[in-house]
Amino acid sequence: MILKQFTIGSLENNNYLLIDEKTKEAVLIDCTQECEDIENTLKEYNATLKYILLTHGHFDHILGINGFKHKYPDCKVLVHGGDKMLMDKVEEFVKSFGINEAQIQEIDGYVEDNQIIKFGENEIKVIHTPGHTKGGVCYLIGDKLFSGDTLFYESVGRTDLPDGHFGQIKSSIEERLFKLDDNIQVYAGHGPSTTIGHEKINNKFL
């Protein structure tokens, strides 16, 4: 599986593109905005975008969806149902960040805890990790975890926004993510990547 990272937008979000080399199916994790580099990478590998998987519904992870759906109409956009309300209220939400306009983004379906999503020869496991938002999830693929804004390098996602809850994010990380192998590589929604083992020792927020 090919993994490409794109750091996009004013909040420096990490979007991750996964491509199965055999079937040429691709999955995009989070969709900050339309991005030529992502489109060019899909072209370069002759890959078909099958899913856009959202780690959560905050505006800086979702506002490229409608643009991508326009270009890749067969791709399915999935999010946890706990963040539907957040996505429906995106216009209101962005105003508190000084952004005037944001369109509601089109969703095709919802993921649930422990669900397995197949793409190519890979299996993606959904791990529901509320705390940063109600419907925050991480996606586990082999030895790679895409942690959204739940777990960062030596930090955790903020819990002061609507639907945030520190006790919840703490237990999501300690009871779900820290049960994974220490050598799992963690690819966060912002900032550098890390490992589960490194965070168990060095994360001062827990």
The residues of the shown chain that bind Zn ion, judged by CB under 5 A, are 58, 149
Provide the minimum distance between the beta carbon of 58 and Zn ion in the complex, in angstroms, as a whole number: 3
C-beta nearest to Zn ion: residue = 58
Nearer to Zn ion, 50 or 134 (CB): 134
Element at 167 (helix H, strand E):
helix 166-175
Q: Contact 20/45 with Cβ under 8 angstroms?
A: no
- Straight-line distance from the first to the last Cα atom of the chain, in angstroms, rounded to the nearest whole number: 32
The token duo for 94 is 């962005």
Provide the minimum distance between the beta carbon of 48 and Zn ion in the complex, in angstroms, as a whole number: 28
Nearer to Zn ion, 120 or 189 (CB): 189
Provide the minimum distance between the beta carbon of 168 and Zn ion in the complex, in angstroms, as a whole number: 14
> E-strand spans in the chain?
2-8, 13-19, 25-29, 48-53, 76-80, 109-111, 116-119, 122-128, 137-141, 144-148, 151-152, 155-156, 185-188, 194-195
Nearer to Zn ion, 42 or 62 (CB): 62
Q: Contact 16/4 with Cβ under 8 angstroms?
A: yes
Provide the minimum distance between the beta carbon of 132 and Zn ion in the complex, in angstroms, as a whole number: 6
Nearer to Zn ion, 42 or 188 (CB): 188
Provide the minimum distance between the beta carbon of 186 and Zn ion in the complex, in angstroms, as a whole number: 16
Nearer to Zn ion, 20 or 149 (CB): 149
